[in-house]
């Protein structure tokens, strides 16, 4: 085809290839695309200014480095023609492909030629089928994505081991993906668990790791694989051991160190939007690999994490943090202290600062410890003495006769919450695309109108009262409680770990006897076993 142009044609050649293009063969390789397009431009006497390449980038997303460089040169008026092998190389997103071909390029006086599709924006006769071509290209990408997801889902659901791009810190993997503990890295993981159980404080653990020059995961990876060389090749000394609370917590909470395989932890927002979304119910397969941490140590660390989360001092005075509520108004009690002006002695207190509360209880921490200790001893130790009877009682205990209906309603609510989160992420992703100029305001409104309508319907359903009682294995929960009780030799020390281990909430009620005399009552909620314990005591 010999096409004459009034002005010199300054060409930007664009090439792209990724996994979602399937088996395109040798002719579809990046190098062959370059050679083919350069030869085509040479025959027509066009000036090739630059070649833009996106190797390994999906056609469904236009935020590719090569394509962005192409747009930058268009803005700078370096080129006036975009040459590509076919429209599928240009992109596989129907909306965005149409936007660039029908709005952006014409507005910037850019000619676009897709050789194998016989597409030339200067010739109206052969551009009529471009929208249809773009739809087909998107369908192809969607079909490939569905096939890959279906295959991957089967592998994940069967618990098959496969090689990962990055292996979990502490492990090394062979060609099949099987993990074995890395001698050096696994020692670091074990050290983190050991020090956290000893210190019960994330800040102290990170300080210990940094001061003892323990390499952080990223630097360790650089030492053994050479990855991230640009960051660590000439980095500062402290950057090599840059541990923080988040990295330590991530290791402490990761149950994969028990030798567990966790699949389907996240998924892409859609086949177009590659943003990762965490799955609420990943697939868990125990005893797949050699563990680095024992179950006992892991569970102990989780109990400490629960007890001391957000705490800067392991033995801080606020041992009842987030546990105490007012028995009158139900608001959380505030922790504070009062200083005696004569003795300068500080008395730590818990009090209700809700101005509309009629009782506004105030109790010293010392008195609270004393009452709590008596309550715990009288109830839990009684149950421990009658272990066999209570375990038998817990074995047949049910919280609700309509438990199956309750579980169904709870599951339905979870499904609605999951879908709501997905819709919110779809809308957020599309809004960002509009802000970044990838789509127009009209395109944004068209895409999100259906999402927003469905979101409104879900919010209405969630506002209805849903019975959220879950099926509880009371016998298993009771056995766990007994095991924890046996770990405690006495109740001389009331600390956060002890409280959070056995209690979910403590309601503080106060009765005024005289002007200066008060009677306090603690109503303790024992979490999952609360109903079972209360009924056992009252039978």
- Residue 408 CA to residue 75 CA, distance in Å, equals 57
> Which has more pLDDT, 440 or 114?
114
Q: How does 357-390 read in b/e, with b if 16+ C-beta sit within 10 Å? A: eebbbbbbbeebbeebbebbeebbeebeeeeeeb
The confidence score (pLDDT) of residue 34 equals: 92
> Which has more pLDDT, 193 or 226?
193
- Residue 397 CA to residue 400 CA, distance in Å, equals 9
State mean pLDDT over 85-102. Answer: 83
Percent of residues, the chain, with pLDDT higher than 90: 20
Asked if the model's pLDDT at residue 340 lies above 60, the reply is no
Within 386-440, where are the H helices? 387-396, 403-435
Angle formed at CA 522 by CA 519 and CA 525, multiple of 5 degrees? 165
The confidence score (pLDDT) of residue 312 equals: 35
> Which has more pLDDT, 261 or 269?
261
The confidence score (pLDDT) of residue 405 equals: 40
Q: Coil, strand or helix: which one is 417?
A: helix
Asked if the model's pLDDT at residue 191 lies above 90, the reply is yes
Please answer whether residues 195 and 188 qualify as being in contact, where contact means their C-beta atoms are separated by less than 8 angstroms: no
- Residue 331 CA to residue 349 CA, distance in Å, equals 16
DSSP string, 177-225: --EEE-HHHHHHHHHHHHHHHHH--HHHHHHHHHHTTPPPHHHHHHHHH
The string of pLDDT tens digits covering residues 388-422 is 888 788 777 765 433 434 444 455 566 667 777 76
Asked if the model's pLDDT at residue 310 lies above 60, the reply is no
What is the greatest pairwise CA distance in the chain?
105
pLDDT level of residue 468 (50, 70, 90 thresholds): very low
The string of pLDDT tens digits covering residues 197-245 is 988 888 889 999 999 999 999 898 888 888 877 888 888 888 889 898 8
Within 309-341, where are the H helices? none
- Tell me, yes or no, if the pTM score tops 0.85: no
The confidence score (pLDDT) of residue 467 equals: 38
The confidence score (pLDDT) of residue 234 equals: 82
The string of pLDDT tens digits covering residues 278-290 is 667 788 888 889 9
- Residue 272 CA to residue 282 CA, distance in Å, equals 22
The confidence score (pLDDT) of residue 486 equals: 65
């Amino acid at each position: 085809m010999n096409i004459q142009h009034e002005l010199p044609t300054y060409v930007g050649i664009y090439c792209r290839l990724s996994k979602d293009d399937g088996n395109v063969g040798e002719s579809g390789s990046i190098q062959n695309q370059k050679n083919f397009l350069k030869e085509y431009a040479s025959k027509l006497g066009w000036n090739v200014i630059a070649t833009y390449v996106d190797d390994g980038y999906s056609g469904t997303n236009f935020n590719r480095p090569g394509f962005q460089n192409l747009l930058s040169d268009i803005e700078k008026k370096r080129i006036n023609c975009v040459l590509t092998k076919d429209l599928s190389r240009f992109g596989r997103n129907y909306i965005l492909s149409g936007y660039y071909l029908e709005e952006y390029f014409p507005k910037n006086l850019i000619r676009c030629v897709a050789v194998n599709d016989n597409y030339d924006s200067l010739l109206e006769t052969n551009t009529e089928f471009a929208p249809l071509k773009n739809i087909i290209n998107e369908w192809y990408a969607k079909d490939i994505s569905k096939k890959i997801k279906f295959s991957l889902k089967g592998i994940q659901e069967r618990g098959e081991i496969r090689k990962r791009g990055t292996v979990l810190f502490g492990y090394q993997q062979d060609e099949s993906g099987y993990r074995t503990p890395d001698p050096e890295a696994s020692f670091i993981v074990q050290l983190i668990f050991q020090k956290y159980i000893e210190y019960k404080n994330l800040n102290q653990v990170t300080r210990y790791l940094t001061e003892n020059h323990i390499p952080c995961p990223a630097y360790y990876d650089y030492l053994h694989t050479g990855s991230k060389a640009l960051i660590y090749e000439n980095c500062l000394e402290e950057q090599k051991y840059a541990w923080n609370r988040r990295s330590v917590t991530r290791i402490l909470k990761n149950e994969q160190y028990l030798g567990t395989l966790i699949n389907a932890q996240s998924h892409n927002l859609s086949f177009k939007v590659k943003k990762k979304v965490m799955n609420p119910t990943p697939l868990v397969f125990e005893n797949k690999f050699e563990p680095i941490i024992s179950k006992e140590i892991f569970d102990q660390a989780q109990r400490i994490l629960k007890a001391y989360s957000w705490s800067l001092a392991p033995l801080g005075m606020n041992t009842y943090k987030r546990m105490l509520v007012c028995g009158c108004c139900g608001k959380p009690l505030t922790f504070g202290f009062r200083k005696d002006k004569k003795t300068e002695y500080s008395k730590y207190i818990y009090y209700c600062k809700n101005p509309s509360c009629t009782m506004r209880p105030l109790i010293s921490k010392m008195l609270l410890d004393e009452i709590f200790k008596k309550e715990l001893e009288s109830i839990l130790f009684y149950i421990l003495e009658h272990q066999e009877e209570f375990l038998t009682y817990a074995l047949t205990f049910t919280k609700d006769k309509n438990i199956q209906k309750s579980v169904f309603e709870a599951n339905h609510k979870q499904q609605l919450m999951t879908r709501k989160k997905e819709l919110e992420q779809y809308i957020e992703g599309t809004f960002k695309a509009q802000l970044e100029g990838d789509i127009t305001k009209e395109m944004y409104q068209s895409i999100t109108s259906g999402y927003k309508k469905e979101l409104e319907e879900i919010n209405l359903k969630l506002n209805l009262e849903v019975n959220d009682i879950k099926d509880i294995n009371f016998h298993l929960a009771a056995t766990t409680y007994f095991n924890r009780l046996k770990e405690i030799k006495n109740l001389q020390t009331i600390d956060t770990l002890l409280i959070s281990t056995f209690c979910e909430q403590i309601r503080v009620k106060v009765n005024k006897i005289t002007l200066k005399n008060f009677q306090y009552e603690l109503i303790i909620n024992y979490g999952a076993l609360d109903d079972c314990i209360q009924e056992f005591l009252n039978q």
